[in-house]
Amino acid sequence: MRQDPAKAATRPPGQVGALAEDAAWNYLQRQGLQLVERNYRVRGGEIDIIARDSKGPLVFVEVRARASAAFGGASASVDARKRARILLAARHYLMRFPGEMACRFDVVAIEGGQLHWIRDAFDADG
């Protein structure tokens, strides 16, 4: 049986992620975060959004989108392997700055059109 073309997914790969990141950033900006960088990539890791909180810390944000909470949902998809890749990129980014810098790791999970901002979702110690 052929699928109705009108109901077929028409978004190119990567567009769903880009739309989710845009939605997440628009929300975070309204919450007072200031953009530092988006899509920071290094070999072996990536950070979707790097922002500065109005209270000072640098915030590394992972954005995950899922159609539903089935199979654990968006926030559960930030598993140990994904966290390790984020931490690798964050360490690389922080090497630019001498001394210690306060930072935190947040997750924005978008499920079924609902956005959930999880502050301090994980830390550098695992």
C-alpha to C-alpha distance for 38 and 58, rounded to whole angstroms: 13
- The 10s digit of each residue's pLDDT in 7-34 is 334 555 567 678 889 999 999 999 999 9
pLDDT at residue 66 is higher than 60: yes
Q: What is the reported pLDDT for 90?
A: 95
SS (H, E, C) 31-97: CCCEEEEEEEEECCEEEEEEEECCCCCEEEEEEEEECCCHHHHHHHCCCHHHHHHHHHHHHHHHCCC
- The 10s digit of each residue's pLDDT in 83-123 is 899 999 999 999 998 888 899 999 998 888 889 999 999 88
Higher pLDDT, 68 or 50: 50
Q: If pLDDT is split at 50, 70 and 90, which confidence band does 73 have?
A: low
> pTM to 2 decimals?
0.82
Q: What is the reported pLDDT for 3?
A: 35
Q: Which domains does the chain have, with CATH numbers?
A: 15-122 (3.40.1350.10)
Among the residue ranges 58-62, 69-73, 80-84, 114-118, the one predicted with the least confidence is 69-73
Q: If pLDDT is split at 50, 70 and 90, which confidence band does 6 have?
A: very low
Q: What is the reported pLDDT for 100?
A: 81
